[in-house]
Structure 1
Amino acid sequence: MTEPNLLIIMDDEHNKKVLGYNGHPLVKTPNLDRLARGGTVYENAYSSSPICVPARAVFATGQYVHDNRCWDNAIAYNGDMPSWSHLLRDAGHTVTSIGKLHYTGDDVDGGFTEQIIPMHIEAGVGDLYGLIRSPLPTRHQSADLARSIGPGESSYTRYDRDITTRTIDWLRTTGRRAHDKPWVLYASFMSPHSPLIAPPEYFAMYPVSGIQVPTKRVPLHPWIKAWNDCYGFDSYFESDERRRVAIASYLGLCSFLDANVGKILHALEETGLAHNTRVVFLSDHGDNLGSRALWGKSTMYEESAGVPLISSGPGVAAGRRVKTPVSHVDFFPSILQCVGQEGLVPAHLPGRSIFDIADAPCDAQRIVFSEYHAAGGVSAAYMLRQGRYKYIHYTGFDPELFDLETDPEEVMDLGTSPSMAAVLAGFRQALDAICDPQATDLAAKRDQQALIEAHGGAEKILARGGSSYTPIPGEPVQLIGNQA
């Protein structure tokens, strides 16, 4: 066997700026920093949709959201569209998942040889609340983000510990057995997703007095203001002191996640598997983490739409940083290529192997694409990144344009600048080549309206209430009513 095995480690809602190897001044992530030093860092990696279920459906299928039609957190991947795991399992590879998948349910054939403690959408129906987009409801359950913070243990931290234990056990048993073909192990964690409750020893690493509340303040784009009015995350914090506690908790969860990754990497080395196993670390999306007074995901700004991405192992250059942008659609061909099945990649998929991209010169012309059709979005939002520029198209609103070389914090919107007319026109042409933005917006809303009606209508869904997070396997759903 010449091709390596592949270990994929995904975490949840990880702001790519909150990593030691990316220069964060406080966070301690020594294991991921070591992985980055020994491997390749992709500086401009993006979520294909900055919310859990759609992002993971793109990761599974290699198809954009408007093609797989998993629009939001209530319309999940159901196994009907072939995934990379289906193709590999059918070709005789051992393909195992441990942890969060966010598919429709346990009865879904996601293509894995085995699914270990999988998390799927809540109650098999997901976030029905998020289907309602006209008019946007007030998501009072967002208050849980501000209230559930500080030191302690949550069901998510316990779940992550279990994922770590089972991943190590798998490496020591199944991973070490003789295999005719390379295996793929997909370990998917919850941290640093809210609730922002960090194990005490990790919370203690970040004294609250030393935490700075983000000062980036810009006028909110009308689309963003409508989204923020729906969620209202920041409004539920009683003071900046509570915001500092939330940020300290997030940093603690990042260090907790890093420690779990370190245990897995140690097991990989201890079992002798490191020499023939590539490791890929990434997230499904980021978190605004108070920037612009925004929290959670769902925006196309770097904190939310950007994701960390590292590859390491045999055949991967050490200490390399790649500037060519990549996204979740690139993983389908990457995974198949890694284990010697590049010929199985369907020709119609839009992605390209991240390993080929890393080995090639920087491609300043490459465009990556993200889209959002989910909770809080009054209309569709689309993002294109090419070279120094990022273009954000809001259906029915003026676009935003940022020069990330001169304005990495995205505080100067060039979308209305006459001097940028040609750049804007080029991006609009590129967007139209990917999808019809208005027709796609309408298609998403039609599917969502049909599901609303199937569940008894908007009033019934609002009366049912919503949850602030997906329960772990075996945990009951806790719904919060449509009242403060």
Structure 2
Amino acid sequence: MKDILIFMSDQHSPLFSEWGSERVDTPNLMRLRDEGTSFEAAYTSCPLCVPARMSMMSGLIPGKTGVFTNNDTLSSQIPCFTHALAAAGYETVLIGRMHFVGTDQRHGFTKRLAADMTPTGWNRPVEQLKKERGDFAKTFGEPWCTDVVGAGESPVLHYDEQIVQTALAYLDQEHEKPQFIIVGTYGPHFPYVAPEELYLKYSDRVSIPKFFNNIPDYMEGFELLKNHCNHEVTENTVRGVYAAYCGMVEKMDSQIGQVRDAFLSYARKKKNGHVFGYLSDHGDQAGERRIFGKQTFFEKSVRIPMIFEGTDIRAGKKIISPVSILDLAPTLCDLAETAFCEEADGKSLKQLLTQEGAEDYERVVISQFTDSYKEKIHYGIMLRYRECKFISYHGYERFDLLFDLKNDPEETVNIIEKFPKLREWFVNIAGLYGKPEEIETEQYRRARNLKWFQYYEKVTGWKEKERWTENPPSARGELKIIANFKKGKINR
């Protein structure tokens, strides 16, 4: 049985890399691509942390898990691929982040060696987070993520360092069972703060995003989507965002190299064969179209990196047909020579990894999301077929989008009106994945239920036991270089 390690970052768009459109030095990921197989058109199932991760664990689209927000969780009665691996004899080990919510912090993991960075309960401990994170407290979410931008220390940088050191220590030990390990870091998720030397390095390279001041015409009047645009951010701030994000990506790349080297050393001693993989849950717009973070179906938000290397995995292979984060569960179980749930929406990529199998160019890859505007929920869906990408939101069908990613990779021109039959075909395919009205109704119901869960936690005095609380005082807002700082005073 092969030992398997997956390094999972948060909010890394593969467009920010040595092979992407936004050039970042990522030598360890390049080495991984050279020595393994890379999926060049991998997509998240939802451009938001918890829904994407619960889909990844279960192999089910959000429309089936019911999880569309970060205030939700996977039912403990839905099996995850970790359950299957544990049943097959693996030690399933979580080191760091997975963003589970509620009392079940395992979902098939038999060990957890480090806490998560985000709150693990239904209530957000606002006052406690302010004490722990200082001026960074609100910058972990939109629209406040651009309030503190620059170089120096941050909670994310300290958290990720601790996760990596925990992983290295674990891999330096002997373990009897075959290992399945996920090392979950938080970067390059905002706050947009990078180490000083990396921030300075990219400050000399970056410019403002192409569509920062020239938002495409197809967004005109599209209030649901334009609601994500931040019109207060200056050019200086967005340059700082780009410099910090690129710096965090390079920092993450170095950590991937550390963990991979340690894992390969461990695997050589065990002689079981190995699989090392890297992916993220979604990307980051980083100011493109004046949008920061995720929550859109544009490429920088919805595309993810997905790379595997290991025993019997082909080296230097680039798969260009679309695949999904949903594929991780059946693929890992297949590589571990065990079975996963037949009803999973993902498909095993083992043949593409280990054999000269044909790519599935006829596959349609799906991503789902529920957006809201003026307290009304709108279901959205993205479909990727060959080089075409279709986007539609319930209630805003007049703004349906169709992009030709081969000739227009930056999604500058909406060609929906030129291809009415293709639009009809996509609409019919979208209908197979659920009725918008039913999905929206379910989300209103879950929002109601959330209030009950929050109240129950408060009256029972439930305490978070697996949230990281060790952010040092030096990482609470004392930046060395400032591109933007809105809250409080800071020692410059």
In the superposition, the TM-score normalised over structure 2's length comes to 0.83
Match of 1:410 in 2: 411
Pick which of 5-14 and 271-280 moved more. 271-280
Match of 1:314 in 2: 311
> Hey, what's the Cα distance between the residues in 1 that align with 2:437 and 2:154?
41
Indicate if the aligned counterparts of 2:279 and 2:306 stay in contact, CA closer than 8 A: yes
> Hey, what's the Cα distance between the residues in 1 that align with 2:75 and 2:317?
37
> Hey, what's the Cα distance between the residues in 2 that align with 1:346 and 1:371?
21
> Hey, what's the Cα distance between the residues in 2 that align with 1:306 and 1:128?
31
1:202 aligns with 2:201: no
1:35 corresponds to which letter in structure 2?
Answer: L
CA distance 1:126–1:425, change in 2 (3 Å): farther
CA distance 1:195–1:318, change in 2 (3 Å): same
Secondary structure at the counterpart of residue 380 of structure 1: strand
CA distance 1:408–1:282, change in 2 (3 Å): same
1:402 corresponds to which letter in structure 2?
Answer: F
> Hey, what's the Cα distance between the residues in 1 that align with 2:79 and 2:348?
18
1:248 aligns with 2:243: yes
Match of 2:170 in 1: 170
Match of 1:459 in 2: none
CA distance 1:272–1:58, change in 2 (3 Å): closer
The Cα of 1:475 is off from its aligned counterpart by 6.0
Secondary structure at the counterpart of residue 201 of structure 2: coil
> Hey, what's the Cα distance between the residues in 2 that align with 1:49 and 1:196?
22
> Hey, what's the Cα distance between the residues in 2 that align with 1:196 and 1:305?
19
CA distance 1:99–1:114, change in 2 (3 Å): same
The Cα of 1:444 is off from its aligned counterpart by 2.0
Match of 1:421 in 2: 420
> Hey, what's the Cα distance between the residues in 1 that align with 2:191 and 2:140?
15
Secondary structure at the counterpart of residue 373 of structure 1: strand
Q: Residues 82-135 of structure 1: CA distance to partner in whole angstroms, max 9, x if unpaired?
A: 111122213321110111111114643321110121317525016799xxxxxx
Match of 2:20 in 1: 22
1:325 aligns with 2:322: yes
> Hey, what's the Cα distance between the residues in 2 that align with 1:223 and 1:353?
41
CA distance 1:31–1:140, change in 2 (3 Å): closer
The Cα of 1:23 is off from its aligned counterpart by 5.3
The Cα of 1:247 is off from its aligned counterpart by 0.7
Indicate if the aligned counterparts of 1:74 and 1:127 stay in contact, CA closer than 8 A: no
1:409 corresponds to which letter in structure 2?
Answer: E
Match of 1:289 in 2: 286
> Hey, what's the Cα distance between the residues in 1 that align with 2:296 and 2:428?
22
The Cα of 1:227 is off from its aligned counterpart by 4.5
State the superposition RMSD in angstroms: 2.8
Counterpart pick for 1:13 among 11, 14, 17: 11
Counterpart pick for 1:354 among 349, 352, 377: 349
Q: Residues 431-472 of structure 1: CA distance to partner in whole angstroms, max 9, x if unpaired?
A: 11222233222222332244347658xxxxxxxxxxxxxx95
In structure 1, list runs of 5 or more residues that go unmatched.
130-138, 457-470
Q: Residues 357-416 of structure 1: CA distance to partner in whole angstroms, max 9, x if unpaired?
A: 44421222101111002566840110111111111111111221111111111111122x
Match of 2:393 in 1: 394
Indicate if the aligned counterparts of 1:105 and 1:121 stay in contact, CA closer than 8 A: no
The Cα of 1:355 is off from its aligned counterpart by 2.2
> Hey, what's the Cα distance between the residues in 1 that align with 2:125 and 2:415?
36
The 5 Å alignment of 1:393-472 reads 393-398=392-397, 399-415=400-416, 417=417, 419-452=418-451
Higher strand proportion = 2
1:389 corresponds to which letter in structure 2?
Answer: C
Pick which of 366-375 and 269-278 moved more. 269-278
In structure 2, list runs of 5 or more residues that go unmatched.
127-138, 456-465, 477-486
Counterpart pick for 2:90 among 81, 85, 93: 93
Match of 1:468 in 2: none
Match of 1:146 in 2: 146
Pick which of 301-310 and 272-281 moved more. 272-281
Indicate if the aligned counterparts of 1:289 and 1:296 stay in contact, CA closer than 8 A: yes
